[in-house]
Structure 1
Amino acid sequence: MAIVWQAAAVAGALAAGTDRDRDVAEYRDELRGHTRVLGALRQTRIQQTQIFYRVDVKVDSLTTSRHGDP
């Protein structure tokens, strides 16, 4: 009977390890997803900065030309 209990204990330990491995895999998948989202947000921010810079240059050129008019 002791062998049965030992086998059950080993099976339980293996199952617990499998659950932990699955939890780690799920955590890594979620972390990868978050990393992709942050990368996309970064790219959007870069694009928006470039657009705002171009608009700022256009506004500056308009205000400069207006100040030069009599």
Structure 2
Amino acid sequence: MSWQQIEDILFDGTEDDIKNLSCPECKTPIYYTYNKGAKSLKYGCKKCGISIRSNGCFSQPNCYRYQ
């Protein structure tokens, strides 16, 4: 699974899909946060040091809805 696929699941995946996401590199569970005011999604892997930010998210991701 790629990081782009992970982002797609964070936006459109089911609650179970989102809970089961893991880093493509080390298989550690990923972290994610959504800032509603800034419309910004940040996600990545703390173990690998990967951090990805998507700005200008005009639709609310499912990962925010299922928190």
Interval of TM-score (by shorter of Structure 1 and Structure 2): under 0.3
Identify, as 1 or 2, the structure richer in strand: 2
Of structures 1 and 2, the one with the larger relative CO (CA 8 A, separation 6+) is: 2
Higher helix content, 1 or 2: 1
TM-score (norm 1): 0.18
